[in-house]
């Protein structure tokens, strides 16, 4: 892997930086997990990105993108986080479902869903987990029974991110009720305002409603909404999980910017903290840089025709545990002040470390718990026998 940027890549970076300097909102947007107002403010930002064809730069121009490669996407992400641009409310769509649609969708499905996804006109929720099927996704019980040219959906989904205010969801359903585990599953899209759909918010520890339960009672959707063949859902979902765990869900720029802010926080309070904190701050910075290099290597491999495999699990464990360590280091610097600064508007970024810590605690659980990821590494990468 060549660690030097080409002249073309340097010019692209400057183009991104110039556009963001002109368009990033001067004040932070309200949280998209707190209110409809905040959600719609972020949708409006997605439309601004789409107008400049920045919604998803790797997508073909015909679907609202720029037809660029993954290295350019990483450059875009670095500039995006450097500029302090709003979080992406449609990350479930553009980062997870979108790449999967590119690989498994028909041309008609791509035309129907991708452009509306890139523009922010349709915001997506992920509807995989169920009360008895979290990290053990193969245990899903929700069913989708084909009646002529429609599927009838029935079941209960939980921990569905963005579902409170989103427009659509993609879920894993058992299209063969007699099947067991990984067999007989299909990935199906459904609108969240369809008759028979009930969405119930789940308040988080920080008071926001980033997750929801979805109750499906004889919800009818066209067979057109099935991605891939019937019964192919498990393999398709594993491709989506590869994007989620190994590449797109957690951009390295997110952690690099956080590491720089942590270093700044440490320098401002160095005289007040224990000497051991310095080592934790340095480790956080090194880990963020190591993760970035790892993702650049993954992007280079994919550009050369490779695929994301079981090694995505190592990335997921690394970034989720790094996130917790980084926020713990910040809280060890701030001490009790972290709670006081959390509600102080003038505190800015410093006031967000505690909420960031709360959110980081979920990292080892979502996108497949780290315990499950370690099993995947043991069995699929190291060839160890099942316990």
Report the distance separating Cα 303 and Cα 307, nearest Å: 9
Contact 200, 190 (CB under 8 A): no
Catalytic residue among 244, 272, 289, 346: 244
**C-beta of residue 259 within 8 angstroms of C-beta of residue 284:** yes
Q: Is 21 designated active site?
A: no
Instruction: Answer yes or no: are the C-beta atoms of 114 and 93 closer than 8 Å.
Output: no
Q: Active-site residue numbers?
A: 244
């Amino acid at each position: 892997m060549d660690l030097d940027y080409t002249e073309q890549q340097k010019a692209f970076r400057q183009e991104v930086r110039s556009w963001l300097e002109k368009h990033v909102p001067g004040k932070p947007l309200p949280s998209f997990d707190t209110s409809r107002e905040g959600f719609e403010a972020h949708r409006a930002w997605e439309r601004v990105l789409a107008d400049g064809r920045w919604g998803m730069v790797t997508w073909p121009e015909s679907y609202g993108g720029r037809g660029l490669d993954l290295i350019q996407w990483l450059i875009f992400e670095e500039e995006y986080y450097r500029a302090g641009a709003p979080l992406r409310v449609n990350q479930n769509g553009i980062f997870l479902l979108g790449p999967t649609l590119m690989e498994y969708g028909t041309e008609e499905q791509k035309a129907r869903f991708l452009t509306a996804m890139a523009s922010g006109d349709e915001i997506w929720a992920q509807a995989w987990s169920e009360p008895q099927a979290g990290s053990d996704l193969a245990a899903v019980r929700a069913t989708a029974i084909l009646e002529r040219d429609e599927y009838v959906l029935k079941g209960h989904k939980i921990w569905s991110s963005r579902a409170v205010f989103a427009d659509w969801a993609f879920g894993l359903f058992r299209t063969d009720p007699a099947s067991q585990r990984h067999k007989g599953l299909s990935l199906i899209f459904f609108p969240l305002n369809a008759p028979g759909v009930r969405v119930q918010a789940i308040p988080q520890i920080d008071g926001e409603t980033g997750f929801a339960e979805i109750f499906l009672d004889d919800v009818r959707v066209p067979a057109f909404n099935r991605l891939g063949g019937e019964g192919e859902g498990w393999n398709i979902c594993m491709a989506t999980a590869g994007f989620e765990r190994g590449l797109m869900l957690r951009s390295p720029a997110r952690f690099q910017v956080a590491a720089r802010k942590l270093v700044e926080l440490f320098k401002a309070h160095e005289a007040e903290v224990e000497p051991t904190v310095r080592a934790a701050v340095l480790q956080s910075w090194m880990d963020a840089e190591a993760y970035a290099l790892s993702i650049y290597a993954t992007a280079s491999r994919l550009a050369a025709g490779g695929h994301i495999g079981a090694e995505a699990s190592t990335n997921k464990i690394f970034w989720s545990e790094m996130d917790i360590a980084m926020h713990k280091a910040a809280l060890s610097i701030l001490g009790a002040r972290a709670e006081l600064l959390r509600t102080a508007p003038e505190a800015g970024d410093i006031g967000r470390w505690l909420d960031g810590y709360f959110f980081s605690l979920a990292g080892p659980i979502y996108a497949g718990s780290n315990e499950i990821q370690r099993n995947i590494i043991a069995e699929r990468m190291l060839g160890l026998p099942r316990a």
